């Protein structure tokens, strides 16, 4: 069985990284994925920096295609939906791969193999917090994003009856025939809507581990309150059950309290896998601490 795969790259103002991203992708694909028919599509959500000039020049060296939202930015979610639509034209598999070098290209091979050899899998979702396997390659993690991910993932699991460990990693492999026709959120909370879709449809997915990679220049510490409020607001809007709505509201209050404590006093809060985060009862650990702790990041 021949499998045609599209690697989709959502992009907005990534002039610092897009060249290295394209170079590293083609270098890896040529050596490790030659048995698959793969094309790359870059979707520019109306970048205002020099990204456009850079990828236009690169397209003369490499055979990727690009689209641009001239009316953008439409938001991350709409950029992913554009990739969904384009993948339905002539592909069996879509892999979403961020332009900012936050993903390890070698995970692409594992995603492709899983979707090729197991026709029952509709989605391969990568997780940075599934195990400690790749943590020796770790870089410093923005604490606010990490804790928000942990708490949101737990709440998503509760609301949608799932067992995932990383709700927000952008590196995913989708079986095109199982993609939704449309989803109704355009922003960075798009994963919440997509996980609801997975829960409602009963599609089969597999979570695999991938390294944690963060660029230090992407650490926007001041945005966490807005991001947290937006995530919980959208999640609550997806739920009709009064009981679950109450759980979401309580989880939001707890998250605000925890993140406020961490951001004010725990700049080196230790990073754990998803299961260890809750097994070690990090919330109680913070409440009983009298002095700010400066524990080093765990890199096992």
Q: Do the Cβ atoms of 39 and 2 come closer than 8 Å?
A: no
What pLDDT sits at residue 135?
85
CA 122 vs CA 111, 112, 189: distances in Å: 11, 12, 21
Weakest mean pLDDT among 5-19, 113-127, 282-296: 282-296
At residue 68, the 3 state secondary structure works out as strand
Enumerate the H helices of 118-215 as residue ranges: 143-160, 190-201
Neighbours of 165 (CB within 10 A): 22
What pLDDT sits at residue 167?
97
Alpha-carbon gap, residue 74 to 116, rounded angstroms: 32
Alpha-carbon gap, residue 92 to 63, rounded angstroms: 19
Which carries the bigger pLDDT value, residue 233 or residue 265?
Answer: 233
Task: State what percent of residues in the chain have pLDDT above 70.
Answer: 89
The size of the chain, in residues, is 300
Q: Do the Cβ atoms of 90 and 165 come closer than 8 Å?
A: no
Q: Do the Cβ atoms of 125 and 164 come closer than 8 Å?
A: yes
Fold of 1-128+169-217: Spore Coat Polysaccharide Biosynthesis Protein SpsA; Chain A (3.90.550)
- Per-residue pLDDT tens digits for 168-206: 999 999 999 999 988 888 788 999 999 999 999 999 999
Alpha-carbon gap, residue 286 to 280, rounded angstroms: 11
User: Binning pLDDT at 50, 70 and 90, where does residue 270 land?
Assistant: confident
Alpha-carbon gap, residue 124 to 195, rounded angstroms: 12
Over residues 77-106, mean pLDDT: 96
94 - beta bridge partners? Answer: 6, 174
Q: Which two tokens stand for residue 118?
A: 């197991």
- Per-residue pLDDT tens digits for 107-166: 999 999 999 999 999 999 999 999 999 887 766 788 889 999 999 999 999 999 999 999
At residue 124, the 3 state secondary structure works out as strand
Alpha-carbon gap, residue 293 to 291, rounded angstroms: 6
Neighbours of 262 (CB within 10 A): 19
Per-domain residue ranges of the chain: 1-128+169-217, 140-162+220-300
């Amino acid at each position: 069985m021949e499998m045609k795969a599209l690697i989709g790259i959502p992009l907005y103002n990534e002039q610092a990284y897009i060249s290295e991203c394209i170079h590293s992708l083609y270098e890896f694909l040529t050596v490790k994925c030659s048995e698959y028919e793969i094309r790359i599509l870059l979707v520019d959500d109306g970048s205002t920096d020099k990204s456009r000039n850079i990828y236009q020049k690169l397209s003369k060296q490499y055979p990727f295609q690009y689209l641009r939202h001239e009316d953008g930015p439409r938001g991350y979610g709409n950029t992913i939906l554009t990739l969904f639509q384009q993948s339905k034209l002539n592909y069996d598999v879509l892999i979403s791969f961020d332009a900012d070098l936050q993903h390890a290209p070698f995970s692409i091979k594992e995603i492709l193999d899983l979707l090729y050899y197991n026709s029952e899998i509709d989605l391969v979702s990568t997780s940075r917090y599934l195990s400690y396997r790749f943590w020796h390659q770790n870089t410093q993690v923005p604490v606010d994003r990490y804790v928000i991910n942990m708490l949101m993932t737990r709440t998503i699991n509760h609301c949608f009856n799932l067992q995932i460990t990383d709700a927000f990693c952008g590196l995913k492999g989708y079986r095109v025939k199982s993609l939704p026709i449309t989803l109704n959120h355009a922003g960075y909370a798009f994963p919440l809507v997509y996980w609801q879709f997975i829960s409602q449809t009963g599609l089969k997915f597999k979570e695999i581990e991938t390294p944690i990679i963060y660029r230090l220049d992407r650490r926007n510490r001041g945005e966490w309150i807005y991001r947290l409020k937006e995530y919980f607001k959208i999640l609550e809007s997806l739920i009709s059950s009064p009981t679950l709505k109450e759980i979401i509201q309580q989880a939001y209050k707890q998250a605000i309290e925890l993140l406020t404590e961490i951001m004010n006093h725990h700049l080196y809060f230790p990073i754990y896998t998803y299961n260890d985060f809750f097994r070690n009862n990090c919330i109680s650990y913070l409440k009983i601490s009298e002095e700010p702790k400066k524990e080093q990041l765990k890199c096992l």
